[in-house]
Amino acid sequence: MSSRTTPSPSAPGTTPADLGLVMRGVHLRHGDGAETVHALDDVDLTVAPGELAAIVGPSGAGKSSLLAVAGGLARPDEGTVTVAGHDMTVSSRRARTELRRRHVGFVFQSGNLLPALTAADQLRLPLRLGGRRDRSGRDPLQMLAHVGLAGKADRRPHQLSGGERQRVGIARALMTEPSVLLVDEPTAALDRARSHDIVQLLAQEARERSVAVVMVTHDHDVLQYCDTIYEMIDGKLATSS
Amino acid sequence: MFLAIRELGFARLRFALMGAVIALISVLMVMLSGLSVGLVRDGVSGLQNLPVTSFAFAHGVQHDSAFSRSVVDASAVDTWRDQPGVAEATPFGNTLINGRTDGGTEVDLALFGVETDSFLSPAVSEGDRLGPADGIVVSPTAIDAGLRVGDTVTVDRLGTRLRVVGVTEQQDTFGHVDVAYVPLATWQAVKSGTPAGAQVPAQATQEITAVAVRAADGDSVDLAAGDKAAGTESLTLDESYGASPGYTAETTTLQLIQGFLYAISALVAGAFFAVWAIQRRQEVAVLRALGASTRWVLRDALTQALILLALAIAVGMGIGLGLGALISGGNVPFALHPQSIAAAAAGLLVLGLVGAAAAVVRLTSIDPATALGGNR
Ligand SMILES: Nc1ncnc2c1ncn2[C@@H]1O[C@H](COP(=O)(O)OP(=O)(O)OP(=O)(O)O)[C@@H](O)[C@H]1O
Ligand SMILES: [Mg+2]
């Protein structure tokens, strides 16, 4: 896995795209018969390591569906999805869980932290999901300090502000050194200043750690920090000007 | 384990409430166990302590009152003694009497009539063994109740005077009444209602309650064949407990209550963890999205249930044992038996886990995609 831990665009035989997220001809339908919703309609998307891609679009366009398929939470009806070269569409649920744990980081709206855990434990959690033999990853306290929460390691989610919770969420997603970070509306619950902070942090992490980041957002204000902007309408993805 | 213990600590009030219910059930379990062991001991310890493997009662006798109704001719003893596999056979007489001491205290005794030189003649912890015709050997519980070696008990109506010569080694009670061993001839006089000093009818000297049979070590006796030869009806020692007054009714009542408690503890644990599982849906979806396998989620949830149940049961059992220690020694039949308490604890734990598992398996069906969006 040296190609993943030291992602290098110039590594022989690989292109930058292979190391990030690649989606080709992806279709996803929900329901059946007359009620079928075409949530993803022939989606192509490539996000290279170090790139922050934003996806905007109206509600119900299929943005969350795209993240679910990209991270192996849902299987597409057609098309291919790879993360760092790994096929995320394998049928085995267990195999996809394992791929998620190793190669994908998720950041959810309003953090989705576990209420019982302190900030430090939120960061330890991803390292505990893989059993005893597999606990390597970043140092939780260093990581907290890195996202500006040095003094708040022992706070539980209800003792943190919305912006702080979101920082913990981002730090948690980065603990296992994923190749791809999938972020769903990270600023939905934040004010303007806090939103800018969070997206800046994401852009900085993407660059520093060579992570391919896909961020879904309604917030056109923060698009200035993004490298590429896509627009999704009715399941179709298009580059935005 | 990582998440399980942190959640236990975080939602400790909620878990403590649930733990308290399980702990109370455990206290009840200890009480019931103590009561049933106590009742069994009070009901049949006199029989349990007999070195007997089976009793041969009169043919056709009613099983639940065999000891009071059965009359067997003494000749059956010889027939039984000759059966293959029988080490010893001896006459056994059983009857309940009311009497009073010279001091005027009323005493009820279960008379066990035995031949003084037979294997049924009990060892004594105090005084002498059976010998003199009017000598009786009583259970230590009778001594606790105020009787003493050397006291004389006069049988009501008959005027027969029985002298306490010795005390058996352990509690011997039958149908909640203290046992007094008495020589067979004296038992036959009392049983036939012969007043003191009068001649015992010849027929009465031939009558006994049952033939007490002891199988040779490691040998089994063909009871049906023996019954056929002797014209009797055999019950094994265990079966004969049911012939002790009230025994079957008491034990089945307690067993029923215990059964209900097991069911309740499984239901309580199941209901609690079902609600808990519903509250955790979003959290579990997040865990699954982060890469936790369903096995990880299940193991964590079951570990949590196990810790909670084990702690609650331990606390409940501790309180129950403390209360039990206060009760036993009083006049409530109560005895703490380590094995039956351990069995009750294990039963509660296993059934609680079954209830929790039934609730927690639902977590496996949670779709990790619901972690996204935050609105579904
Ligand atoms: N599990 C599901 N079953 C049926 N339909 C679904 C399911 N999940 C999503 N859909 C449908 O798929 C379409 C895309 O949903 P998705 O959640 O991806 O939209 P979105 O772009 O994330 O919207 P929002 O901005 O409101 O979060 C919607 O029409 C939605 O109703
Ligand atoms: Mg969405």
Cβ contact B372–A64 (<8 Å): yes
On whether the CB atoms of residues A147 and A139 are closer than 8 A, the answer is no
**Domains in chain A, start-ordered, CATH in brackets?**
19-239 (3.40.50.300)
- Encode A200-221 in three state secondary structure: HHHHHHHHHHCCEEEEECCCHH
> Strand B86-101 to strand B106-114: parallel, antiparallel, or no bridges (unpaired)?
antiparallel
pLDDT over 60 (residue A2): no
Q: Is B34 in the same domain as B68?
A: no
Closest-CA residue of chain A to B10: A116
Tell me if B52 is assigned to some domain.
no
Domain holding B368, by residue range, is 2-44+248-375
Output B237 or A138, whichever has higher pLDDT: B237
pLDDT band for position A15 (cuts 50, 70, 90): low
Q: Is B117 in the same domain as B217?
A: yes
Tell me if B186 is assigned to some domain.
yes
Does residue A165 line the site of ligand 1, with CB under 6 A? no
pTM of the model: 0.81
On whether the CB atoms of residues A194 and A162 are closer than 8 A, the answer is yes
ipTM: 0.89
On whether the CB atoms of residues B200 and B192 are closer than 8 A, the answer is yes
Q: Is B348 in the same domain as B225?
A: no
- The H or E element containing residue B32 is helix B12-48
Query: Mutual orientation of helices A162-174 and A192-209 as an angle, nearest 10°?
Result: 10
Tell me if B239 is assigned to some domain.
no
Q: Is B189 in the same domain as B258?
A: no
**Min Cα separation B303/chain A (Å):** 15
The answer for residues whose C-beta is within 8 angstroms of residue B57's C-beta and 6 or more apart is B66, B70, B72, B209, B210, B232, B233, B234, B235
What are the C-alpha distances in Å from B28 to residues B32, B289, B333?
A: 6, 44, 16
Domain boundary among B186, B203, B230: B230
Tell me if B356 is assigned to some domain.
yes
Q: Is B253 in the same domain as B123?
A: no
> Strand B177-183 to strand B86-101: parallel, antiparallel, or no bridges (unpaired)?
unpaired
Q: Is B161 in the same domain as B303?
A: no
pLDDT of residue A26: 97
Q: Is B211 in the same domain as B184?
A: yes
Q: Is B222 in the same domain as B318?
A: no
Does residue A60 line the site of ligand 1, with CB under 6 A? yes
Tell me if B236 is assigned to some domain.
no
Q: Is B174 in the same domain as B105?
A: yes
Tell me if B49 is assigned to some domain.
no
d(CA B53, CA B292): 60
Domain boundary among B230, B258, B292: B230
pLDDT over 80 (residue A61): yes
Residue A167 CA to ligand 1 center (angstroms) comes to 26
**Residue-by-residue DSSP string for B106-167:** EEEEEEEEE-TTSTTSPPEEEE--S-STTEEEE-HHHHHTT--TT-EEEETTT--EEEEEEE
Of A113, A197, A192, nearest to A155 (Cα)? Answer: A113
Q: Is B32 in the same domain as B78?
A: no
Q: Report the domain count for chain B.
A: 2
* DSSP, res A33: G
Tell me if B241 is assigned to some domain.
no
Tens-level pLDDT at each residue, chain B (376 residues):
899 999 999 999 999 999 999 999 999 999 999 988 888 888 999 999 999 999 999 999 998 899 999 999 999 999 999 999 999 999 999 999 999 999 999 999 999 999 999 999 999 999 999 999 999 999 999 999 999 999 999 999 999 999 999 999 999 999 999 999 999 999 999 999 999 989 999 999 999 999 999 999 887 899 999 999 999 999 999 999 998 888 888 889 989 999 999 999 999 999 999 999 999 999 999 999 999 999 999 999 999 999 999 999 999 999 999 999 888 777 778 888 889 899 999 999 999 999 999 999 999 999 999 998 654 4
Nearest neighbour of B374 by CB, restricted to A104, A112, A176: A112
Does residue A235 line the site of ligand 1, with CB under 6 A? no
Residue B15, SS3?
A: helix
In terms of Cβ atoms closer than 10 Å to its own Cβ (0-12, 13-18, 19+), residue B147 is buried
Domain boundary among B196, B230, B264: B230
Q: Is B8 in the same domain as B81?
A: no
pLDDT of residue A8: 43
Q: Is B76 in the same domain as B200?
A: yes
Q: How many beta carbons lie within 10 A of that of residue A204, not counting itself?
A: 14
3-state helix, strand, coil in chain A (%, to 5): 35, 25, 40
Number of H helices, E strands in chain B: 12, 13
Cβ contact A125–B10 (<8 Å): no
**Min Cα separation A108/chain B (Å):** 6
Tell me if B133 is assigned to some domain.
yes
Beta-bridge mates of residue B214: B88
Q: Round the average pLDDT of chain A to a whole number and report it.
A: 89
Cβ contact A110–B374 (<8 Å): yes
In the stretch 98-117 of chain A, residues with CB closer than 8 A to chain B read: 98, 100-102, 104, 106, 108-110, 112, 114-117
